[in-house]
Structure 1
Amino acid sequence: MHRLASSLVALCLALPAAAQSVPDFQNEAFVTPYWTRVPVIEVLGRANMEVAPNRASFSVTYLETDKDSKKAMQLAVERGRLAYDTIKKTAGESARIQSSVNVTALYEQYKDKDGNRIDNERSDKIRAYEARVSLSIVVDQVSKAGAARAGALALAPENSTGLSTYLERTTDMNRAAYEAAVEDGTARAKATAEASGAVIGKLMVVQEGTGPCLGQWSSMAGSDYDYYRSAPAAMAPPSPPPPPAPVAAGMVGGRQITITQADIDTLNLPSDDKPQQISASVCMIYALGK
């Protein structure tokens, strides 16, 4: 037994020595980054670019009431369809429109013992139907958004939202911000080296993010306006003025409704764009030159 225990102790003592005799270069590369073996400069390059908004959105709702459900829907859809046509004539394919329609029953009411009015929700107590057509519009040419919304307002919607302009980032925008951040990082590295009386050498590491060499894109975009931008000012008509050409026309409730450019210009209230921001950061590691 003493002889076996002595052999086990000797084996355990020998294992660490044997392990140390074989260098583990693979693990060493991860434990000790190669740029820590030489003097380096680590900087964070930043870019904050101002760009114009490239999207605008708004919505309108048209309500019609009738004792017949189908008639109420027809009236609301006619107004919604004419608004759709007007927006398309004004903004063209730059406008993307999503539409919806729903109907709500309006019931007769009675008073409870406290005097509160309560809907009598029975099928034989329906007094009318309210049809609601909603249009949600996104315009990717912001300069056309104000006129498009004015065209929708010309149909007198019961509800409407303010025009919201915002930024939808593109690949080119992201790349431009990244390149500007790299340029800023290089300038910072040179300034750091000069402050210490050295010069920068080879770029060893560059990675997008907020450091240390890790991170992701960041941006601030979006602005809601209560009003909408103006269309180009209409030129004075010649004398005598010709009859205004309709932008869109259609039947609503058996009546011919015509929307002219003058109707749109009257409702097109101007507003200024708020610049949008897109930001990027990069972590950069430079070796010191000789």
Structure 2
Amino acid sequence: MRRVWIGLCTLPLLAAGAEAAPPVKPVETTDRFDAAPWWMERAVLPQTGYAETEVEANRATFAARFKGTGKTASEAQRQAVAQAETLISALRQRPAEAVRVRTDFAVQAFYEQYRDKDGRQIANVRGDKIQGYDATLTLRVEVRDMAVLEPIYALVLAAAPPQVDRVAFALQPDNALRDRLRNEATRDAAARAQGAVKATGSTLGGIRLIDPSGRACRADILGRRPDANADLALTGQRVEYKGPPQMVSGPSSPPPPLYQLEARAAENAFIQTPPLYRVQVQTCVVYDLK
């Protein structure tokens, strides 16, 4: 075999009948680029429009806990239920679209205790040393009408549960809000596109694509790091509410009648101010360029 010099490279020349070397397998590389989308077959202008507003929270949740103690688990449960039954009856009289209530139980045994030779107090863990049971009835309240939040919260406090959680607010955007912001974002995209073509001396053509999710304008055709995107984004709440301290009261007194519970709630209303949430929407509109 002899070699022929071509520029700076040497290529081996194989004699007749010599076996050819196997082809070299190309090195595989990770492709970081997306394929060009269909709407980029000709000159286009992808433009993102933005819309933003502040909306008051429309959901409020909190929990109240009632505790009972008895020699048996069923006795402890009955005691916990007896403390909350008037309140549960009052809450169930409210419309389901305004207030929703659910309950759950937790029961735990407690054992006889003794002291060891060093005087340390130790609790038994044997089944035959169970002294009694503690039952906790958790009442979870979801308020969907902010107009009734304050009286509902006051009603729960009037029942004097041993523990009441602070109110947690949230926003569930409805379809009307989504549609309004999408329309505003589309109009904003049109205004931005008109400004872009005016600044560059181009002419805006027809619309090729409207993407309410905004992802079309983030096509990763240049190998950029893709950004997280959502159809509708909620930022942190603008107003922080701090609830009252936890109530601590013994379960010894019987629950008040319903009319007393309602009267006590009316005298002891707590102000609950729903916070504001910032809602943001992006819409992608792809225009032809002339």
* TM-score using structure 1 length: 0.70
- Greater percentage in helix: 1
After TM superposition, the structure 1 = structure 2 runs for residues 236-247 of structure 1, keeping only pairs within 5 Å, are none
The alignment covers a number of residue pairs equal to: 236
What's the secondary structure of 2:257's corresponding residue? strand
Distance 1:288 1:52, change over 3 A: same
**1:267 counterpart = 2:268:** yes
**1:37 counterpart = 2:51:** no
Note the alpha carbon deviations across 1:51-98, whole angstroms, 9 max, x for none.
221111111100022334433221211222222122234x43211111
Q: Which residue of 1 is the match for residue 222 of structure 2?
A: none
Counterpart of 1:139, as a letter, is: V
What's the secondary structure of 1:105's corresponding residue? strand
**1:106 counterpart = 2:110:** yes
TM-aligned CA deviation for residue 151 of structure 1 = 1.0
Alignment identity in percent? Answer: 25
Candidates 50, 55, 61, aligned match of 2:65? 61
Give, in whole Å, the separation in 2 of the partners of 1:102 and 1:145: 27
| 210-219 or 145-154, larger mean C-alpha shift | 210-219
Give, in whole Å, the separation in 2 of the partners of 1:193 and 1:180: 20
**1:52 counterpart = 2:56:** yes
| Structure 2, unaligned runs of 5 or more | 1-15, 17-34, 220-228, 245-251
**1:257 counterpart = 2:252:** no
Distance 1:37 1:136, change over 3 A: same
Note the alpha carbon deviations across 1:174-215, whole angstroms, 9 max, x for none.
222222211111111112122234443312222122552555
CA RMSD, 1 decimal: 2.9
Distance 1:42 1:70, change over 3 A: closer
Q: Which residue of 1 is the match for residue 233 of structure 2?
A: 219
Q: Which residue of 2 is the match for residue 278 of structure 1?
A: 279
* TM-score using structure 2 length: 0.70
Q: Which residue of 1 is the match for residue 159 of structure 2?
A: 155
What's the secondary structure of 1:280's corresponding residue? strand
The question of whether the paired residues in 2 share the 8 Å contact of 1:75 and 1:253 is answered with no
Counterpart of 1:46, as a letter, is: Y
Give, in whole Å, the separation in 1 of the partners of 2:83 and 2:234: 37
The question of whether the paired residues in 1 share the 8 Å contact of 2:64 and 2:164 is answered with yes
After TM superposition, the structure 1 = structure 2 runs for residues 1-290 of structure 1, keeping only pairs within 5 Å, are 33=38, 35=40, 37-38=42-43, 40-89=44-93, 91-93=94-96, 94-112=98-116, 115-207=119-211, 208-213=213-218, 215-220=229-234, 223=237, 225-227=241-243, 257-258=257-258, 259-288=260-289
